[in-house]
Amino acid sequence: MNSTLEAQETTFIEPFSVDYDLVEGAMKNPTNHLVRRASDMRGHYRDAAALQQLIDTGNPVHYEVYERPVPEQYGHLMFCISDLRPGTVGEECFMTKGHYHTRLNTGEIYLALRGRGYMMMKTNDGKCRYEEFAPGRMVYVPPYWGHRSINTGSEPLISFCVYPGDAGHNYGDIEREGFPRRVFLRNGKIHVE
């Protein structure tokens, strides 16, 4: 066996399969099911008063993530289904919190299954890019890029994502830095500012 591989022990697991519903954007029998509501999104939207109004009038779900996690180790591939709801906070489109990977040198693949939106990406030295999200499109997020999904449509934005098992998630830097660009719905048109 290669000594480099021996130095990076990987937990042995048995093969498995997962059932999912692409129309509903749900994984059947997930091991982890993350639900983020308006109250979990404080500090992420420009209009804090509009967000508080949403919280006070029902605290709607912004997004859900379904996972069947594998060991968070080198050699494994994590995967999930994300269901980002349509809506706005004031005029700003619903979005995920966004994250860097804890291991910055890891990328991620997002495959759009349903809905429309953007994948907003940024580096910590100020670069910012976004790619359209729509069925039939895959977005590649390279290493070192923070990223968040943004729903610009009228139905859920459903995506399937895959990333290295040891990538990890760093939400704190995004909470402190934010993103240099935001997406708004004004008079029926999408604006990126």
Confidence of residue 24 (pLDDT cuts 50, 70, 90): confident
- Is the pLDDT confidence value at 6 over 50? no
- What is the CATH code for 19-187? 2.60.120.10
- Is the pLDDT confidence value at 160 over 50? yes
Confidence of residue 5 (pLDDT cuts 50, 70, 90): very low
E strand residue ranges, 98-172: 108-114, 117-122, 128-133, 138-141, 146-151, 157-164
**Residue 33 and residue 117: Cα distance in Å, rounded?**
22
90 CB burial (10 A radius; 0-12, 13-18, 19+):
middle
pLDDT tens digits along 38-81: 999 999 999 999 999 999 999 999 999 999 889 999 999 999 99
pTM: 0.92
What average pLDDT does this structure show over 90-97?
A: 98
- Is the pLDDT confidence value at 1 over 70? no
- Is the pLDDT confidence value at 92 over 50? yes
Query: What's the pLDDT at 127?
Result: 97
Confidence of residue 102 (pLDDT cuts 50, 70, 90): very high
- Token readout for 49 is 């008063």
pLDDT tens digits along 107-149: 999 999 999 999 999 999 999 999 999 999 999 999 999 999 9
Would you kindly state where each structural domain of the chain is located, as residue ranges? 19-187
188 CB burial (10 A radius; 0-12, 13-18, 19+):
exposed
Contacts of 108 (CB under 8 A, 6+ apart): 101, 140, 141, 147, 161, 162, 163, 167
pLDDT tens digits along 166-177: 999 999 999 999
For the chain, give me the number of helices (H) and strands (E)? 3, 15
What average pLDDT does this structure show over 184-193?
A: 97
- Is the pLDDT confidence value at 7 over 60? no
Query: What's the pLDDT at 8?
Result: 64
